C-alpha cells in the first residue's frame, strides 16, 4: 500500500519534472527567438533598427554614451539644438505588403524542400500584414521617439528644460505623413514624461520643409519620375551578384529558377526585416539569406538611395537647399541673439521627416562621400564604403546640430544618431561657427530653392 503510494507520488513527481522541464525549455526557446537578433540585421538598410547603430541601447534604452561625443571645453555652454529626425519604426507600404504576400504564397504553395524553417513558415507563420497598414507607425516606432526625446533631455539638460518648454522656446515641426505626425506626438510625450510637466505644444505641419523633395520640380522630373535616373540600380538587380542570390533562394525552396525574381528576394528580405523591427522576432524568413546574400541586398538598397537621394545626381542634394537655409537662418538668429542681449528665443527645434529628408541634406553637407561612386559593377570594391544607409538613416535617425557659447565665440557641433561627426573640410570636431560658415559659404550665398528647382536652371 505504502509502496504503491510512494510509486504514485514518484510517478507524479517525475511527470511534473518532465513537464516542467519541457515547459521551461519551450519558454526559453520562445524567449530566445523573441530576443535574438538576426545575423543579417545590420544589413537591413533603411529598414534597420536604431539599436543596431547604437548597440548600448539594447540593454538600456535611456543610456547616453558620452564616449561617442566630442565636446568643446567645459567653459562653453549649450545655447541651441536643432534636431532633424526620421520617423520611427513603421509598417511596410501597401506596395511592399503585396510583394510580401505574393512571396509568402509562393513559399506555401510551391516550395517543396522540407527544411525545418520552411515547414515552420508553412505551418506556424501567418501572413498578418494587411494592405491598410500602409506605412503607419507601429508601437515600436512610438517608443523610438519617446525614448529619443528622453535621451535628448539627458544629453541637453540645460536646453530641454521645463522653463524653455513653458516659455515656448521649444518648437516641433513635422511632415504631414501620419507616421511623422504620430512620431512627433510620441516625441512630445517623451519630453513631457521626461520633464514631468504638461504644456501646450502643437507641432507645426510643414511639407515645404520636411518633404521638400515633392516640391522641387526639377528633382521630380529628372529623378523621381525618370526611370533612367536609376539605371545603375536596375543593372545591379539584373547583374551577377543578384542573380546568385536568386538562384540560392530558388535552391533553398526547391523551385525553378524562373519562379524567383528580384521582387521575391526583396520581399523575403522585408519579411525578415519587418518581423524583427516590428515584433522583435528572429523569424524563419531570415534563414533564406546567408551573410553574402544580405550584403548584396544591402548594396541594392544603398545604390537606390545613392542614385535617388544622394551623390548620384546633383539635383538630389540641391533639392534640400530650403532645409539647409532654414537651419542656418535659425543658427544665425541664435548667434545674433547671443551677441546682443543674450536671450535665445528658440532653444530647441525638432523637425520630424523621412529618410528622404535627411539623406539629401547630409549629401549637401558633403558627408558620407566615397571616393568612387557606387555603381552596378563595383559591389566588391565598395565593401568598405562609408555610404551605408543602415548606419546613416535607420528608423528614428537624427541629425543634431548644437551651438555652444564659448569665451572665444560660438562653436558648433554636429551629431548623427547621437555620435559626433566632423564636417568634411574642417578638422575640429566642434569648430567655431564662423569656420562652418566659411566652409559652406558657396551654399550660404547660393543654393536657392527657386532657382535650383526650376527646369531651365543649369
Q: Write out the catalytic residue numbers.
A: 87
Please identify, using beta-carbon distances, which residue of 74 and 383 lies nearer to ligand NAG.
383
Which residue ranges make up the site for ligand NAG (CB under 6 A)?
56, 65, 67-68, 106, 109-110, 136-137, 168, 171, 178, 182, 204, 221-222, 226, 228-229, 255, 259, 372, 375-378, 381, 383-384
Closest to ligand NAG by CB, 320 vs 376, is 376
Secondary structure (3-state) at 63: coil
Q: Which is nearer to ligand NAG, 258 or 340 (CB)?
A: 258
Strand partners, 81: 348, 402
DSSP, res 360? H
Q: Least distance from C-beta 259 to ligand NAG, angstroms?
A: 3
The set of residues, in sequence order, having a beta carbon less than 8 Å from that of 65 and lying 6+ positions away, is 54, 56, 418
CB of 134 to ligand NAG, least distance (A): 9
Integer Cα distance of 392 and 388 in angstroms:
6
CB count, 10 Å around CB of 166?
A: 14
List Cβ neighbours of 440 (8 Å cut-off, separation of 6 or more): 328, 365
- Rounded least distance, CB 135 to ligand NAG, Å: 9
141 sits in which H/E element: helix 139-155
Three-state DSSP class for residue 267: helix
The residue (of 419 and 439) whose beta carbon lies closer to ligand NAG is 419
Which residue in the block uniquely carries the three cell numbers 513653458? 166
| Alpha helices (H) along 85-138 | 94-110, 116-124
Q: In the bound complex, what is the minimum distance in angstroms from residue 61's beta carbon to ligand NAG?
A: 12
Helix (H, G, I), strand (E, B) or coil at 171: strand
Least Å distance between CB 417 and ligand NAG? 12
Distance from C-alpha of 325 to C-alpha of 329, rounded to nearest angstrom: 6
Count Cβ neighbours within 10 Å for each residue of 123-162 and write b for 16 or more, e otherwise: eebeeebeeebbbebbebbbbbbbbbbbbbbebbeebbbe
* Edge-to-edge strand ranges of the sheet holding 348-353: 204-205, 170-174, 348-353, 77-86, 398-406, 409-416, 419-421
Amino acid at each position: 500500500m505504502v509502496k504503491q503510494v510512494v510509486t504514485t507520488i514518484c510517478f507524479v513527481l517525475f511527470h511534473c519534472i518532465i513537464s516542467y522541464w519541457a515547459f521551461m525549455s519551450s519558454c526559453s526557446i520562445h524567449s530566445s527567438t523573441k530576443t535574438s537578433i538576426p545575423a543579417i540585421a545590420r544589413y537591413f538598410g533603411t529598414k534597420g533598427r536604431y539599436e543596431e547603430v547604437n548597440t548600448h541601447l539594447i540593454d538600456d534604452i535611456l543610456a547616453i554614451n558620452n564616449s561617442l561625443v566630442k565636446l568643446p571645453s567645459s567653459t562653453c555652454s549649450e545655447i541651441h539644438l536643432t534636431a532633424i529626425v526620421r520617423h520611427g519604426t513603421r509598417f511596410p507600404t501597401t506596395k511592399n505588403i503585396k510583394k510580401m504576400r505574393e512571396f509568402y504564397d509562393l513559399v506555401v504553395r510551391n516550395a517543396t524542400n522540407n527544411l525545418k524553417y520552411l515547414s515552420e513558415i508553412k505551418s506556424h507563420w501567418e501572413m498578418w500584414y494587411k494592405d491598410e497598414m500602409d506605412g503607419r507607425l507601429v508601437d515600436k516606432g512610438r517608443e523610438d521617439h519617446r525614448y529619443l526625446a528622453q535621451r535628448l533631455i539627458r544629453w541637453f539638460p540645460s536646453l530641454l528644460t521645463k522653463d524653455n518648454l513653458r516659455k515656448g522656446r521649444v518648437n516641433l515641426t513635422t511632415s504631414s505623413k501620419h507616421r511623422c505626425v504620430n512620431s512627433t506626438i510620441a516625441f512630445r510625450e517623451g519630453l513631457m514624461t521626461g520633464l514631468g510637466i504638461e504644456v501646450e505644444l502643437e507641432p507645426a505641419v510643414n511639407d515645404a520643409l520636411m518633404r521638400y523633395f515633392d516640391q522641387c520640380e526639377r528633382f521630380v522630373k529628372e529623378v523621381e519620375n525618370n526611370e533612367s535616373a536609376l539605371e545603375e540600380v536596375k543593372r545591379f538587380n539584373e547583374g551577377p551578384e543578384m542573380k546568385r542570390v536568386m538562384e540560392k533562394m530558388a535552391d533553398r525552396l526547391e523551385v525553378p529558377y524562373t519562379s524567383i525574381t528580384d521582387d521575391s528576394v526583396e520581399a523575403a528580405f522585408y519579411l525578415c526585416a519587418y518581423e524583427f523591427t516590428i515584433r522583435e522576432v528572429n523569424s524563419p524568413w531570415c534563414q533564406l539569406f546567408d551573410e553574402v546574400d544580405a550584403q548584396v541586398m544591402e548594396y541594392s538598397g544603398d545604390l537606390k538611395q545613392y542614385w535617388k537621394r544622394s551623390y548620384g545626381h546633383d539635383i538630389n542634394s540641391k533639392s534640400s537647399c530650403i532645409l539647409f537655409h532654414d537651419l542656418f537662418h535659425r543658427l544665425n538668429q541664435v548667434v545674433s541673439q547671443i551677441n546682443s542681449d543674450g536671450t535665445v528665443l528658440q532653444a530647441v527645434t525638432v523637425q520630424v521627416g523621412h529618410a528622404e529628408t535627411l539623406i539629401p541634406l547630409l549629401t549637401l553637407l558633403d558627408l558620407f562621400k566615397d571616393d568612387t561612386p557606387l555603381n552596378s559593377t563595383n559591389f566588391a570594391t565598395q565593401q568598405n564604403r562609408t555610404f551605408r544607409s543602415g548606419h546613416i538613416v535607420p528608423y528614428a535617425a537624427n541629425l543634431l546640430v548644437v551651438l555652444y557659447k564659448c569665451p572665444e565665440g560660438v562653436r558648433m557641433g554636429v551629431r548623427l544618431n547621437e555620435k559626433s561627426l566632423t564636417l568634411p573640410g574642417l578638422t575640429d570636431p566642434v569648430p567655431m561657427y564662423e569656420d562652418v560658415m566659411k566652409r559652406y559659404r558657396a551654399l550660404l550665398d547660393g543654393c536657392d530653392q527657386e532657382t535650383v528647382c526650376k527646369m531651365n536652371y543649369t
